[in-house]
Chains A and B, each alone.
Chain A
Amino acid sequence: MTEIADWTLIATVDAIASRKVSSLEVTEALLKRIAVWQPLVNAYISIDENGARDTARKADERLARQGAIGPLHGVPLAHKDMFYRPGVPVTCGSRIRRDFKPDILATVLARLDAAGAIAMGALNMSEFANGPTGVNVHYGAARSPWNPEHITGGSSSGSGAAVGGRLAYGSLGSDTGGSIRLPAGICGVYGIKPTQGRVPRYGCMGLSFSLDNIGPLARTARDCARLLRVVAGPDDNDPTAAPVTVDDYEAACEGGMKGLRIAVATNHYWDGMDAEIGGALESALDLLGRLGAHVSRRTVPFHEELRGLGNIVISSEFCTLHDDWLRNHHDDYAPLVRARMKQGYAFTAVEYLKAVQIRPRITKAFVDDVFGDADALFLPVLRFPVPKIADVDVRDGPRMNEVLGSINHCTWPINYLGLPGLSVPAGFSSGGLPIGFQLVGRPFDEAMLFRIAAAYERETGWPERRPESAV
């Protein structure tokens, strides 16, 4: 019999609702697993054992009194430490905000609360969500549950480690250049960067107000779909949240692959592809084809420009948000974080506004070109095996831009385009570390990405593989 912590999110919701297990028993099982694995993977910045138990007891009482209240009733989740809850410290992975206690409730947390979720604690992250490796000089690097010498990816590093290590049934992260899709792909789970505006950001720490996105990571496509549906949708507190109807993503997971058109980008994203990773991705494409998809290969436009355009926007906005602290608390930032931020001062207002002004035109041209005859675009997550922490912990040394740029090479362009992107587990390397691919879709067509991912998952069963015991 599998451990409770091995159950999927939806299996756990169903087990609680049918009273096969209580929310408190599930919470205790997870706390037990966290006690063993946390020293190894450093997924959590703080664990709220008493708060989780208390909320779980209340969930059980409520279930007994009136039945399940929502689609996440009684299930423990944990999130990147950047979502505000009144009176609860939120560090943003930083020294500067170590003792910060917000006085507002993030819309996404309010929606998870209403759906019945339990909060287990706060997860590790790159400082201020800046950095694709998962290294954090203040709280220690999060470590891969598949091999703790290796990175989790970032910036939602604790989310990848916790969900991959089965220390939470799901997690919210944020993605400005790959920060959900990288840790998801690197830790062997699903993670979706929704369409810009799909998920409200009220009460969430910002990095780049034009490119930030909130989204879930989870072990299966359907788990991820359920979490996205709970948190997505318009919000009176966030005027940037899109007034667009939220689809039934779980229903989309039941659709088949037959007749769908998948385009594979052959330029940029495959440059310098490692042979083993490339082979695994080709196997995935082969399977998608055998399942009924029409797979075509093509070049995609703007790949040379998107990194630079995104860099102008992110650097300028990150620098804008941190200008005061950078001048007055310079040494409280990690060297890598402040080094990345300083680049933002060097762009003029005209250059920044040009990069913003041209964005709709670039996205329209990209969508018209790529999605005119395709339902989804297939991209790698990483072009090489998951690196060791020691190999990418470059601080602010001379290799910084090169190393960081190589890790987010395949994810970064999608944020400037504003399109949805889903990381999908696609097997394991000979070294036992996860391999993933991305599916990118039309604006607001996250349902299509879940449909393809779920059909692929049914054939492969990758989420069933578990990390080896930590003890």
Chain B
Amino acid sequence: MTEYRDRLQIVHSAGVPVSQADAQRVLQSVQVSLLALDAAVKSSLFDTEPQTFDVVLRKLAKSKSHD
């Protein structure tokens, strides 16, 4: 987790108290979450067509799917 130690500086710079336990949790949270992000974003997002989440949900709705 040492590679994420710089993240603690961001938290400190926000002006909130950071205990040893807080620091440990921040490092753990960042490590796990960024691994997930890296796995999800396997390639550039540059070519993602413009879209918003709500529009995609409506496109994915299947009309009368329970008929």
Known interface pairs A354-B45, A355-B37. Does A311 touch B16 (Cβ–Cβ under 8 Å)? no
Is A458 an interface residue, CB under 8 A from the partner?
no
* Contact status A312-B53, CB under 8 Å: no
User: Is A363 in contact with chain B by the CB < 8 A criterion?
Assistant: yes
B36 near A375 (CB under 8 angstroms)? no
Q: Is the CB of A307 within 8 A of B41?
A: no
Check if A448 sits within 8 Å of B29, measured CB to CB.
no
Known: A346-B10, A448-B65. A244 touches B58 (CB 8 A): yes
- Check if A311 sits within 8 Å of B29, measured CB to CB: yes
> Would A242 and B53 be within 8 Å (CB), given that A305-B36, A342-B16 are in contact?
no
The stretch among A29-37, A380-388, A423-431, A438-446 that forms the contact with chain B is: A438-446
Task: Name the contact of B66 in the complex, choosing from A252, A311, A361 (C-beta under 8 A).
Answer: A252
Complex: chain A residue closest to B17, CB-CB: A330
Q: Is the interface of A mostly helix, strand, loop or mixed?
A: helix
Are A397 and B62 within 8 A (Cβ)? no
Chain A residues in 8 Å Cβ range of B4: 346
* Contact between chains at A448 and B34 (CB < 8 Å): no
* A255 CB → nearest B CB, Å: 7
Q: Which residue of A lies closest to B24 (CB)?
A: A398
Q: Give the contacts of B1-32 with A (CB-CB under 8 A).
A: 4, 7-8, 10-11, 14-19, 21-22, 24-26, 28-30, 32
Contact with B along A276-309 (1 / 0, CB 8 A): 0000000000000000000000000010111111
Cα A129 to Cα B44 with chains together (Å): 35
Smallest CB gap from A341: residue in B: B16
Q: Complex: how many Å from CA A216 to CA B4? A: 40
Contact (Cβ within 8 A) B29 A346: yes
Task: Give Cα A330 to B8, complex, Å.
Answer: 18
Indicate if the CB atoms of B66 and A255 lie closer than 8 Å.
yes
Interface pair B10/A351, CB less than 8 Å apart: no
Chain A nearest CB, measured from B54 CB (Å): 5
Please count how many residues in chain A sit with their CB below 8 Å of the partner chain's CB atoms. Answer: 60
Q: Decide: B60 and A343 in contact? CB cutoff 8 A.
A: no
List, in ascending order, chain A residues with CB within 8 A of B22's CB: 339, 342, 396
Q: Give the Cβ gap from B56 to chain A, nearest Cβ, in Å.
A: 4
Partner of B53, one of A354, A360, A396: A360
Q: Which residues of B contact A315 (CB under 8 A)?
A: 29, 33
Q: Using C-beta atoms within 8 Å of the partner chain, give the interface range for chain B.
A: 35 or more
Q: How far is the CB of A79 from chain B (nearest CB, A)?
A: 25
Residue of A302, A306, A339 near B21 (CB, 8 A) is A339
Docked complex Cα distance between A390 and B66 (Å): 44
Interface pair A360/B16, CB less than 8 Å apart: no
A242 and B61 alpha carbons, distance in the complex (Å):
12
Query: In the complex, which residues of chain A have a beta carbon less than 8 angstroms from the beta carbon of B39?
Result: 304-305
Does A100 touch B at the CB level, under 8 Å? no
Are B57 and A196 within 8 A (Cβ)?
Answer: yes
Chain A minimum-CB-distance residue to B35: A308
Q: CA of A307 to CA of B16 in the docked complex: distance in angstroms?
A: 26
A345 touches B21 (CB 8 A): no
Q: Does A345 contact B33, Cβ atoms closer than 8 Å? A: no
In the complex, which residues of chain B have a beta carbon less than 8 angstroms from the beta carbon of A342? Answer: 11, 16, 18, 22, 25-26
- In the bound complex, how far is the Cα of B58 from the Cα of A143, in angstroms? 38
Confirm or deny: A267 has a beta carbon within 8 angstroms of a beta carbon on chain B. no
**Which of B30, B37, B40, B53 is in CB contact (< 8 Å) with A346?**
B30
Question: CB-CB < 8 A to A358: which residues of B?
Answer: 40-41, 45
Chain A residues 182 to 201 lying within 8 A of chain B, measured CB to CB, are 195-197
A307 near B14 with CB under 8 A, answer: no
Q: Are B25 and A443 touching (Cβ within 8 A)?
A: no
Chain B nearest Cβ from A437, distance in angstroms: 19
Bound-state CA distance A398–B26 (Å) is: 12
Chain B residue with Cβ nearest A359: B53
User: Once the chains are docked, how many angstroms separate the CA of A447 from the CA of B56?
Assistant: 20
B18 to chain A, nearest CB (A): 7
Q: Is the CB of A197 within 8 A of B54?
A: yes
B61 touches A360 (CB 8 A): no
Give min CB distance, A300 to chain B, whole Å. Answer: 15
Q: Is the CB of A327 within 8 A of B53?
A: no
Which A residues from 413 to 471 make CB contacts under 8 A with B?
418, 442-445, 447-448, 451
Docked pose: A447 CA to B61 CA in angstroms: 12
Give 8 new A-B contacts, CB below 8 A, not counting A304-B39, A311-B29, A327-B14. Answer: A242-B57, A308-B36, A339-B25, A345-B10, A358-B45, A442-B60, A442-B65, A447-B66
Instruction: Pull 11 A–B residue pairs with CB atoms less than 8 Å apart, ordered by A.
Output: A307-B32, A308-B35, A326-B14, A343-B25, A346-B10, A347-B30, A347-B33, A354-B41, A355-B40, A357-B48, A448-B66
